[in-house]
Structure 1
Amino acid sequence: MPNSEGLRPTTDRVRETLFNWLAPVIRGARCLDCFAGSGALGLEALSRYAESATLLEYERSVAQQLGKNLALLQGNGSVVNTNALTWLAGNGQPFDVVFLDPPFRKGLLAIPSRCWNNRAG
């Protein structure tokens, strides 16, 4: 994975715990991995039989590497090289599971949370 400021993959232990919690819903789910970074969450979802995963990544070199990794895994997914906040504001596609793990200390988590609250309300 190319070096990118703020890229900090979710630790194995946290990822294992998260996916143990999600086990009842992940199989067959349509997943969205916002701020994909290393792609660990979206790719893990695919490895646990999610129907699909859409990975959003802003850094072009990171998105390109994610695309290569996804192709190697032959997973049913896509990588979108985009600003996740812009994409979230303009996309109405439904997802069953959404991962929001923005870059550390950038204050980005509140913004997508408001997008979801506005859609749900």
Structure 2
Amino acid sequence: MSLRVIAGKFKGRKLETVDGVTTRPITDRAKESLFNILAGDVIDSNWWDLFSGTGAVGIEALSRGASFVRFTDMNRAPIETIQ
């Protein structure tokens, strides 16, 4: 599955994923809907991306101006990929 950053300073950048069935990435459509709802609340905000998997939500938040994101996942492989 091809993942990318939708908007912000990292727009268009592709994200790496972990091989196997350990993660189920959020779709671009769902991610875009989430950030359309949050709109102006993202800038200078702090995020905690629980069950990060690919880190797509947290990375999108950083791209759109969040000041800090903590990535958390039960599996170590996705966190190492995000780093």
| TM-score range normalised by the length of the shorter chain | 0.7 to 0.9
Equivalent residue, structure 2, for 1:33: 49
CA distance in 2, matches of 1:27, 1:54: 16
Equivalent residue, structure 1, for 2:3: none
Could you say what the CA RMSD is over the residues aligned between the two structures, in angstroms? 1.2
Scaled by the length of structure 2, the TM-score of the pair is 0.74
More moved, 4-13 vs 39-48 = 4-13
Are 1:60 and 2:76 an aligned pair? yes
| Per-residue deviation, 1:61 | 1.6
Equivalent residue, structure 1, for 2:35: 19
Conserved? CA contact 2:47–2:66, under 8 Å: yes
Q: Give secondary structure in 2 for the equivalent of 1:44.
A: helix
Correspondent of 2:59 among 26, 35, 43: 43
* Richer in helix (by share): 1
Among the aligned pairs, what percent are the same residue? 36
Q: How many residues align?
A: 67
CA distance in 2, matches of 1:6, 1:60: 10
| Per-residue deviation, 1:18 | 0.6
Q: Per-residue displacement from partner, 1:88-108 (whole Å, max 9, x unpaired)?
A: xxxxxxxxxxxxxxxxxxxxx
Scaled by the length of structure 1, the TM-score of the pair is 0.52
Conserved? CA contact 2:18–2:54, under 8 Å: no
5+ residue gaps, structure 2, are 1-16
| Structure 1 residue runs of 4 or more that deviate by more than 6 Å after TM superposition | none
5+ residue gaps, structure 1, are 68-121
Q: Per-residue displacement from partner, 1:43-79 (whole Å, max 9, x unpaired)?
A: 0000000011001012112111111xxxxxxxxxxxx
